[in-house]
Amino acid sequence: KTVNSLGHSYLRLRKFSLSEDIYNRGLNFSKKRLKDIKYTALSFRALAMVEIEREEFKLARKYYYKALDIYKKRFKKGSREFIEIDSCFAYLEKKRGDIDLAEKLYKKVILSYKSLNRKEPLVYNLDIIDSLNRLANLYLLNREKSHVEAEIKLFEAISLAKKVKEIESKEVNRLLVESYNSLAYLALLENNEQSAWNYYKKANDLK
């Protein structure tokens, strides 16, 4: 975890070579020292993120498939890990510019989490909220998509957030801030400054 945190910090600073080096150290450590192969999969996913930021999408996809191969050996199909990989591929396609495929994958992710939620009510609400925010932001980036579609997803995210347990309130607040900020941006696109102001205020009140 410490290695991945350091690698993520370098990635945020856009120091890609340093980030890649740290993640490769984590990969080697997980292969040699850790019995649970899921950590090896996480290292492959982290390396994929580096390549996405470098716009080396083929290599990023290769790393994601390596992680997926591990999940196939370790987890049942339809588990959280498989859904997370779909979300990773959705983000890759978004960065690659294939908005239609990214949309299709994010919708699949949301439906998959909702399916798990039917077995364990509310457990996956945070994951659904995060995915709804990502899908809404995808709509905001795509001029061909209706703003109404983005608005519907954001209000659904806010509605779900209100159902989440108190113990998860900190994470809920972070996701709510994202939803309100996106609604504010949407209002500005429609030249509705008063609504934008109100949404930004709601977001700031949660910080």
Position 167 scores a pLDDT of 47
Rounded CA gap, 194 and 207, in Å? 20
Report residues of the chain scoring pLDDT below 50: 167
Percent of residues, the chain, with pLDDT higher than 90: 46
Measured distance CA(15)–CA(20) in Å, rounded: 9
The one-letter amino acid at 143? R
The phi, psi pair for 176, rounded to 5°, reads: -65, -40
- Alpha carbon distance 181, 153 (integer Å): 13
pLDDT at 103: 94
pLDDT at residue 71, rounded to an integer: 93
Tell me how far CA of residue 142 lies from CA of 3, 58, 135, 150, 167, in angstroms. 36, 23, 11, 10, 36
